[in-house]
């Protein structure tokens, strides 16, 4: 690694997730169009403010980290390039030269899972450039909560990251649009991404249930059928009182049926259609996982019936 003498557009830590076609904000093709100035990045006022505040907060976070962790950090705003791949460049937030740890500072409102997922590629690139084996993502959340996430060097990630980076740098050099299929094929070998895709419990798994478990499934099915019959009966009573609006109460019974007006939700499709220049992916929340149980029992002389599906959010 050596200081960069001539500024050039290439592969950097801040865009490596886009180059791997794994960014939630832009694809590898969009990154190429930005780098070749065929399109211009348009940031909202809020995004611009976040960027500026991130720059302001970096030295503050650094001071807090040094005080709380008892480390001495070096800040050198020199942009470095890789000895072998001169199109690979980086400017570090800070380095712990004594313990050889890369530091990345973030001012954020996100949780640790999101922070790690988002900046894992960035710190792997930083460890590759510095030849260090440890990184620490330090964050200040909501203006007061200081935390950090330790990340170890991931040779599997780095190997394929470099392969994708070299391919992308050559695309810039030859002015050839990168093929997303080529990038996706390279990224498919990265354990970090494969691990995230395979974290859904039960997918593709065939259960081996005991006789007792199977008996309980039949018992559960019987209970669900009883519940279904009771819900039909309850529906009849609800229907009987559906047009009787108002309140009734006596010494033992209380009943009410009143209309309630709720504020309408936003029509997201119309919003996107009327504002085609806004990149709504920036405002997309992370995916939520939930478990889904399904019970299906075939009985003689009866059609197969899928009974009630239960869902439960996993927190």
Helix (H) or strand (E) holding 192: helix 191-197
How many CA atoms, within 13 angstroms, populate the side-chain half-sphere of residue 304?
A: 5
Query: In whole angstroms, how far apart are CA 200 and each of 113, 174, 195, 204?
Result: 16, 41, 10, 10
Query: What pLDDT is stored for residue 307 in this prediction?
Result: 45
User: The sheet that has 80-81: what strands, in order across it?
Assistant: 2-3, 80-81, 88-90, 11-12
Could you tell me the two tokens for 136? 């620490």
Could you tell me the two tokens for 252? 């033992």
User: What does the alpha-carbon distance between residue 12 and residue 128 come to, in Å, rounded to a whole number?
Assistant: 11
Q: For the beta carbon of residue 151, count every other beta carbon within 10 angstroms.
A: 21
Structural domains in the chain plus CATH codes: 2-197 (3.90.320.10), 211-313 (no CATH)
Distance of CA 195 to the CA centre of its chain: 13
- Main-chain phi, psi angles of 134, to 5 degrees: -140, 145
Q: For the beta carbon of residue 122, count every other beta carbon within 10 angstroms.
A: 22
3-state SS assignment for residue 93: coil
How many CA atoms, within 13 angstroms, populate the side-chain half-sphere of residue 6?
A: 3
pLDDT tens series, the chain, 315 aa: 888 888 888 999 999 999 999 998 899 999 999 999 998 887 777 778 888 888 889 999 999 999 999 999 999 889 999 999 999 999 999 999 999 999 999 998 888 989 999 999 999 999 999 999 999 999 998 888 999 999 999 999 999 999 999 999 999 999 999 999 999 999 999 999 987 655 567 766 788 889 999 999 999 999 999 999 999 999 999 999 999 999 999 989 999 999 988 888 888 777 877 777 776 766 767 666 677 777 788 876 554 444 444 444 544
3-state SS assignment for residue 248: strand
Distant-in-sequence contacts of 144-147, Cβ < 8 A, 24+ apart: 146/61, 146/64, 146/65, 146/68, 147/112
Residues 183/167, Cβ–Cβ less than 8 Å: yes
3-state SS assignment for residue 257: strand
Closest residue by Cα to residue 29 from 170, 179, 169: 179
- Main-chain phi, psi angles of 112, to 5 degrees: -65, -35
């Amino acid at each position: 690694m050596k200081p960069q003498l001539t500024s050039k557009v290439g592969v950097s830590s801040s865009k490596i997730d886009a180059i791997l076609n794994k960014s939630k904000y832009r694809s590898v093709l969009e990154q190429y169009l930005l780098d070749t100035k065929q399109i211009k990045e348009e940031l909202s006022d809020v995004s611009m403010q976040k960027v500026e505040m991130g720059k302001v907060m970096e030295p503050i976070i650094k001071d807090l980290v040094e005080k709380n962790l008892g480390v001495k950090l070096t800040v050198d705003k020199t942009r470095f390039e890789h000895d072998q791949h001169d199109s690979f460049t980086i400017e570090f937030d800070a380095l712990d030269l004594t313990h050889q740890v890369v530091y990345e500072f973030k001012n954020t409102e996100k949780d640790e899972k999101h922070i790690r997922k988002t900046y894992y590629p960035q710190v792997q690139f930083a460890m590759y450039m510095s030849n260090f084996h440890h990184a620490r993502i330090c964050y200040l959340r909501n203006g007061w909560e200081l935390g950090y996430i330790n990340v170890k060097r991931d040779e599997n990630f780095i190997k394929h990251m470099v392969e994708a980076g070299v391919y992308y740098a050559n695309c810039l050099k030859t002015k050839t649009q990168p093929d997303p299929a080529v990038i996706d094929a390279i990224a498919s070998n990265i354990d970090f991404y494969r691990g995230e895709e395979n974290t859904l419990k039960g997918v593709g798994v065939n259960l081996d249930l005991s006789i007792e478990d199977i008996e309980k499934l039949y018992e559960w099915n019987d209970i669900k059928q009883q519940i279904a019959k009771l819900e039909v009966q309850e529906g009849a009573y609800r229907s009987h009182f559906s047009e009787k609006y108002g309140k009734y109460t006596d010494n033992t019974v209380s009943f009410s049926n009143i209309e309630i007006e709720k504020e309408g939700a936003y029509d997201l499709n119309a919003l996107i259609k009327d504002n085609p220049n806004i990149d709504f992916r920036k405002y997309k929340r992370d995916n939520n996982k939930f478990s889904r149980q399904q019970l299906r029992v075939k009985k003689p002389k009866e059609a197969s019936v899928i009974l009630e599906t239960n869902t439960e959010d996993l927190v």
